[in-house]
Amino acid sequence: MALTLRQLRERAGITSAEAARGVDHDASWLSRIETAEVRPHPNDVRALLALYGVKGDQAEAVITVARQAKQRGWWQRYSDVLPDWFAAYVGMESEASVIRTYECQMVPGLLQTEEYARAAFEGAPVPMRDGEVERQVSLRMERQAILTSEDPPMLRVVIDEGAARRMVGGPGVLQRQLNRLVEESTRSNVQIQLLPYSAGVGFDGSFVILDFPPMPEPYPDAVEERVVYVDTLTGALYLEQPGEVAAYAAAHEQLQALALAPNPTRDTLRAVAADLST
């Protein structure tokens, strides 16, 4: 819903400040909606759609989705450590039907153990405030609940071998993390592939592709059903243009083709974990 409303506003050529004023709210209200911090009331959605020129059956389709959405995201309990640019991602992640990711440096957050996540945050290049590490760890652990929910997304992961061998937290922490990957890879909705050193050059940069379930007809066709998320040191990039999304989707397919299949991946992860005991 957040992505839909932002895309429809941008398509109409209206700034967030203008849109907020047009429905008798302030700009911060609309910002919280478009970053998934709060879920709008269906009446507010109706007013915004009228402002954006979306009418009739298309407007009703969007309003139907708004009625079905939860009023407020659970992640807002972490607003003290959750910047707007990442709150938007967590909101979209919670609604995705398929999550494709490539990680060249770390184990993906959705598959991290608590102690691995803590070590990763403690070793982050940008120091965190006192107490922030534990809040970030707690947020990361709660995010993982989507994988065991009633309607979990399909998770398709390619991990560079360097990420699987990087000594985050020490041998014991890494060993338990690798064992966790082996365990998670047995889930029907989780596929993990390791990109071995022998594959040669991988991809210089991690990314996530989020696919969303089809919207009810006749949902506005301008709204993208796939978004690419690229993390940066101080923010994030959200790529929505068809050409951008297609390029990253092709890259992920190529990385999957180069990576080990799921069963050999499990065997390799078990062997790396066993080596850490010696």
Rounded to whole angstroms, how far apart are CA atoms 67 and 42?
A: 6
Q: Is the pLDDT of residue 71 over 60?
A: no
> CATH 1.10.260.40 spans which residues of the chain?
2-72
Distance (Å, whole) CA 264 – CA 107: 18
* CA distance linking residue 186 with residue 69, whole number of Å: 31
Lookup result for tokens 């700034």: 15
The per-residue pLDDT for range 49-62, each reduced to its tens digit, is 999 999 888 888 88
CATH code of the domain made up of 2-72: 1.10.260.40
Is CATH 3.40.50 the right assignment for the domain spanning 76-275? no
Percent share of the chain, pLDDT over 90: 56
Residue 89: count other Cβ atoms within 10 Å of its Cβ.
21
Q: pLDDT tens digits, residue range 188-230?
A: 999 999 999 999 877 889 999 999 877 766 777 656 678 999 9
Kindly state the tokens that stand for 48. 């915004």
Average pLDDT, the chain: 89
Of 73, 22, 89, 77, the residue nearest 49 (C-alpha): 22
Tens digit of each residue's pLDDT (9 = 90 or more) over 101-118: 999 999 999 999 999 999
Structure tokens belonging to residue 248: 């990253």
Using one digit for the tens of pLDDT, what is the confidence trace for 230-259?
A: 998 888 998 988 899 999 999 999 999 999
3-state helix, strand, coil in the chain (%, to 5): 55, 15, 35
The whole-number average pLDDT for the span 117-144 is: 92
**What pLDDT is recorded for position 69?**
66
Q: For the chain, give the percent of residues with pLDDT over 70.
A: 94
6-52 pLDDT, tens digit per residue, is: 888 988 999 989 999 998 998 888 887 887 667 788 888 899 999 99
Q: Is-contact 146 153, C-beta < 8 A?
A: yes
The model scores a pTM over 0.85: no
Task: Using pLDDT thresholds of 50, 70 and 90, give the confidence band for residue 138.
Answer: very high
Between CA 4 and CA 41 the distance in angstroms is 15
pLDDT of residue 223: 61
Most confident by average pLDDT, 72-81, 121-130, 191-200: 191-200
- Provide the 10 A C-beta neighbour count for residue 63: 16
User: Mean of the pLDDT values across residues 262-274?
Assistant: 97
Cα distances from 161 to residues 11, 78, 116, 122, 167, in angstroms, run 42, 32, 17, 22, 12
The one-character DSSP state at 15 is: -
Helices (H), 23-98: 27-34, 42-52, 56-68, 84-95
Compute the distance between CA of residue 231 and CA of residue 89 in angstroms, rounded to an integer. Answer: 10
Q: Which of 41, 34, 1, 39 is nearest to 16 (CA)?
A: 34
Q: How confident is the model at residue 174 (pLDDT cuts 50, 70, 90)?
A: very high
Residue 122 to residue 144: CA distance in whole angstroms: 20
